[in-house]
Amino acid sequence: MRKNLAIFLIIIVTFLLQTSFQMILPDAVAVPNLLLILTVSMGFMRGKKSGMWTGFVTGLIIDLFFGSYFGLTALLFMYIGYVNGFLYKIVFDDDARVPMITVFISDFIYNSVLFAVNRLTGGHISIGSALTGIILPEAVITMVVTIVFYNVYFWLNKKITAMELEEEQSPWLRR
């Protein structure tokens, strides 16, 4: 229970940071997608199930506040968290290079799908404009920011894991 509450608080704080970036830099070419970094990180560090649920909750929050198509971001983030969960226990957690690559690929796919859905529903932006103006700049800036945020999420995950072990060993909290 405490683990789920801690992860939910991390999601809320990350959401507030992401919206702060959007308010501070409204005319920026791209703003990093911190919730995507969180989703990839949770899948990478905690496995498929945790990545899937983190992605679903973060995507649902994005859909509630900013989404044009309710449920699309939740679905995409859920799949992104699940797929990145396959890397759990395959690659070392403390190295940020692999998460940077997976964040770049995940962000590129996420924005490409959003572009395709927008295009299918009557959007008039060209593929070249979308690639050079939205998709690639956001993927690159999100990948660069992953260096800092992944290390923070790694540290928080270690604390959550220690808290889980403490709960398992406590005679009062055993189920």
- Residue 64: its pLDDT value, please? 93
The rounded distance, in Å, linking the Cα atoms of 33 and 45 is 18
The phi, psi pair for 92, rounded to 5°, reads -65, 140
- Residue 73: its pLDDT value, please? 94
- Residue 165: its pLDDT value, please? 81
- Residue 79: its pLDDT value, please? 96
For the chain, report the end-to-end CA distance as a whole number of angstroms. Answer: 12
Domains of the chain in sequence order: 2-159 (1.10.1760.20)
- Residue 161: its pLDDT value, please? 86
- Residue 93: its pLDDT value, please? 67
Quick one: how far is CA 80 from the chain centroid?
8
Low-confidence ranges of the chain (pLDDT < 50): none
Q: pTM of the predicted model, to two decimals?
A: 0.89
Q: What is the pLDDT of residues 37-57, one digit of tens each?
A: 999 999 988 999 999 999 999
Q: Is residue 68 within 8 Å of residue 119, measured between CB atoms?
A: no
Q: Which of 116, 120, 145 is nearest to 131 (CA)?
A: 116
How many CB atoms are closer than 10 A to CB 93? 19
Q: Is residue 33 within 8 Å of residue 142, measured between CB atoms?
A: yes
- Residue 20: its pLDDT value, please? 87
Q: Is residue 75 within 8 Å of residue 30, measured between CB atoms?
A: no
- Residue 96: its pLDDT value, please? 79
- Residue 126: its pLDDT value, please? 86
- Residue 127: its pLDDT value, please? 86
